Amino acid sequence: MLTAALNVRPLVTHKPVPSVSRVSDQFAAIAGLVASEFSYKKDEEIFGEGETAEYVYQVVSGSVRTYKLLSDGRRQIGSFHVPGDVFGLEAGTAHRLTAEAIVDTTVRLVKRSSLEKAATTEVQVARKLWSMTAAELKHAEDHMLLLG
């Protein structure tokens, strides 16, 4: 089993907040991975559509919505994320959607490059990423069926 090595350091300009133990840290079992927690106020953007997908996020408390802003100004909701959910894991190098806090929210961030590097050397990490990706695909399929 991999050991946890979490060194907290600021990755963005938001003020770090204490860890909330109610939510399982999806990234804790990955050796050498640096994770930080940040708080966002209600309606504050976490990342924008088209921005470089440098981090992967997990909701610790609060909730997050991802959406695409349409040309007529309407928002097309991609999904809602609640504590424990991982989001921002993109297939490409840029975010396809915008993410913002619905209420005051705390998220855990890890560098995408660190996850990818760990996955090339540790089979458990690759399996965990596959599991997170499969869960995200299931969520998208369920959402598509609901809309259809």
Domain regions of the chain by residue span: 35-147
Q: Is 23 a residue whose pLDDT tops 70?
A: no
d(CA 115, CA 31): 10
24-39: burial string, b at 16+ Cβ within 10 Å, e else: ebbbebbeebbbbbbb
Mean pLDDT of 87-113: 94
For the chain, helix (H) and strand (E) counts, in that order, are 2, 8
Quote the mean pLDDT of the chain: 80
Mean pLDDT of 47-56: 96
Task: Output Rg (C-alpha) for the chain, integer angstroms.
Answer: 15
The CATH T-level fold of domain 35-147 is Jelly Rolls (2.60.120)
Pairing of strands 35-40, 98-101: unpaired
Report the amino acid identity of residue 66: T
- Residue of 110, 108, 145 whose CA lies nearest to 129: 110
Report the amino acid identity of residue 68: K
Mean pLDDT of 87-112: 94
Q: Is 95 a residue whose pLDDT tops 90?
A: yes
